[in-house]
Amino acid sequence: MNKSAKTYTYRGGQKVALEKSPDQMVVRALSAGLDDGAIASSEQVSSASTRVNTSGAELDALMSRSRIVAPTHHAYYESDSGAEFLITDRIFVTFKQALSDQQIDDFAGRYGLVKTASYSDRDYLFQLTNHTGMNPVKLVVKLTEEEPLLEAAEHDLNQRMNAEQFSLPTDPDYARQWHLHTHLNNADFDARSSVLCENSWGLLDGFGSDEVVIAVSDDGCKLDHHDFDSPDKFASWGYFRGSRLVTAVDIDADPQQMYKAGSNHGTSCCGVIGGEIDSVLTVGAAASCQLLPIQWESSGPSLFISDSKLLTTLNYIADKADVMSNSWGGVPTSVWALPVINRIKALALTGGRRGKGIVFLWAAGNENCLINHTASQPVPYDHGVEVQGGALVWVGVRTTRVFRNNLVGIAGVMHIAALASTARRSHYSNYGPGIGVCAPSSNSHAYYRMTVRGLGITTTTGESGGVTHSFGGTSSATPLVAGIAGLAISANPSLSALEVISILKQTASKDLDFSGYPRTPPANFDMNTDWDVSPVSPFDAGTFIDTGEPEGSWSPWFGHGRVDANAVVAEALSRNQPVGDKTFQGDSTPDRSIPDNNERGIKDKIVCAREFSLASIKVNVDISHTYIGDLRVSLISPSGSVVPLHDRTGGSGNDLHVEFDNTSAPGLLALIGESVKGEWALHVQDLALVDRGRLKAWSLEVKGQADTSIVVEESPGVIIPDNVQGGIERSLAVSKTGRLDSIEVSLDITHTYVGDLKVELTSPSATSVLLHNRTGGSANNVIKIYSLSNASALQVFQGEAVKGAWKLRVSDHAGVDQGKLNHWALRIVSTT
């Protein structure tokens, strides 16, 4: 294929140079529906699209005929890497601010678009029509550069992601699972490669909690496999058919659709995580945890994933999962649309089953290349072979200097590298910036040219017999870390996702083999192997170095080290020790009638005068009622958080005499860390006619710890210069290490016209947040405490290192009125 016709578009907020193929097109139809003599060959590139090859002379005429059948576009490739850029007839639009329905419709009308989905009050998905008058590439450029209403516009790309697996030669079930224990006697097994799950199970006195849910997005899962046969093994499941995610609760859902013969990758990933301890076959790292598999449509090793499908999946698991494992990816470019990135950022902080964030794990990849770095020389990013006539044929490696992955650096997201059973880096494992930790897996030569030592992973498969001994790649390493993350949450459900990732990193073992591999030898079909340069400088050694991260030293090959399940569980349990001597007990005996069939219900309050952070809570209620299925009972904390305790369950049963705690009412876990001081309220509603009742009494028992937050402050009393954009800058130093979990910013500024003022806070990592941006008009003074609850922009600091200089800039942007910064303070809660 000859590439020509250079152009550009935007992706992830950056300009991307493209080349338009002179002899290819992409049509939204499968090859079975395409019948034209000008088609030389075709290849499926998404669940509903095909890339067609033809001659340059016939391309335009073929596209005209094809457009009668289905939407058709030119085929594009990225100029710098040659990676395919699979546009669709859909675009994402992020408006600068929320618009009315009329304004959205007017926008769509101006560009001949149809709104197909809304993800927030600013994020929308639109489909082009024949009235748009330009292709998606040109439209994204026009909207980005000319449309004043928009913050961003970009493509809903189709992406063919590689299932990151290597199949090793099959060798003659728990005894062979060397990655979980140290019992195996084999010359290719170094005990330093095991994650020591067997030891961690002893600490837990079990195999994980059946309340913890681990989502797996892949090519499906054989739900009726013997290793998943307990009644509640699956919290849910779902599969894509076109743009629709069919889920377990849908009336037309068919569980048999979750598996198709030959697609065993997802089944193996699920086995690595949660193969049941009582089965006759294999064991997973977190055998008692629940699974939530999502099936992408696929063809062979290619998974068909678009931005909108990934966003749909994220929204589905948003309140169901604790961990999400993704054993797929793409190099050299893996750049997702901003709505996807923003959703992942939000879910990592406050999403999930417990409202404490989802741990997101991605396979680093198996191409022996970088994942997010610009190298000083061309670096191979594929295996250099193609399957032709059923055999592997050397065609030469593709190279690039630029590797981009915009998931790297997101708090709550981690990429997993592979470690061979010899405790050496797996030859194929990707490396460099972005690697979080490594985990044991298989070993193979990335270019199929050399013998390298290492054992495969024994786990589940959908094939006959139900077991494979040759699973591997970063595909196997990633769900193994997901299972260990599930064990950490099982040990301590109060942990946030950011804390889980921090524990995985800081407890990882650095006792590994740092030996490298010889370069690829010449062969009669490839005599010059100077192309084999990986790992490239400055990442050509696996030595651990101090990068200033709170979790400790880091290696470009191993990340923070080999994940250690035993140390992870021990650390999680240590953070779940008895909560100390801070206790508040309160009770109330209102003996009030509950109004029948009235949504307003009644509220009764208990006031706590003590001040400490909540670690556990019990709520006892005593309600007399002749039909408790009518009742909804909620607890409201002093911060305004509402936790449902009883929601119209129990049917015709009489009376509610119940103690609710973190186990029976998991929603109470969301209150951990909140201040206990203030008014606590019990809200009782009767939502159906006839039966009546009374709230006789209720009580609280709250335990916690004294405030251990970091507080830094100053009272400078400095004048803010009038109408000077640079204003004043003050700095407060934090000496403690750790990553930010929550922050409060206290300001005391006197000023006679606060609409003149801008107030900006900058972290030691150089992240800036505008706290006050010329709002408030002629009002006097800014005396306020900003927190995560009333200033959501502060969430961007979560997960950042707290140590260093925090800077406050206060500037006045209009004449006449003047003011003074009297006092400012930071209260930071960090995780270690």
Question: Which sequence positions are flagged as catalytic?
Answer: 218, 265, 475
Residue written as token pair 């290719």:
188
**Phi (first) and psi of residue 281, to 5 degrees:** -110, -95
118 DSSP β-pair partners: 124
* Of 26, 482, 16, 47, residue with least CA distance to 308: 47
Residue written as token pair 């206290």:
746
Roughly how many angstroms between the first and final C-alpha of the chain, as a whole number? 53
Using CA atoms, how far apart are residues 670 and 638, in angstroms rounded to an integer?
13
319 contact partners, CB below 8 Å, separation of at least 6: 351, 352, 353
Bridge-based pairing of strands 84-85 and 72-78 is antiparallel
Check: CB of residue 353 under 8 Å from CB of residue 321.
yes
818 contact partners, CB below 8 Å, separation of at least 6: 719, 720, 722, 751, 752, 812
- Tokens encoding 386: 């193609």
**Phi (first) and psi of residue 144, to 5 degrees:** -65, -40
Check: CB of residue 123 under 8 Å from CB of residue 94.
yes
Check: CB of residue 702 under 8 Å from CB of residue 822.
no
69 contact partners, CB below 8 Å, separation of at least 6: 27, 29, 33, 34
Using CA atoms, how far apart are residues 621 and 695, in angstroms rounded to an integer?
8
DSSP state of 801: B
- DSSP track, 694-745: EEEEEEEEEEEE----EEEEE---EEE-TTEEEEEEEEEEE---SEEEEEEE
* Helix, strand, or coil (residue 564): coil
Q: Angle between the 474-491 and 265-274 helix axes, to the nearest 10 degrees?
A: 30
Using CA atoms, how far apart are residues 585 and 703, in angstroms rounded to an integer?
9
- DSSP track, 375-443: EEEEEE-S-SEEEETTEEEE----EEEEEEETTTT-TTEEEEEEE-TTSSBPTT--BSTTEEEEEE---
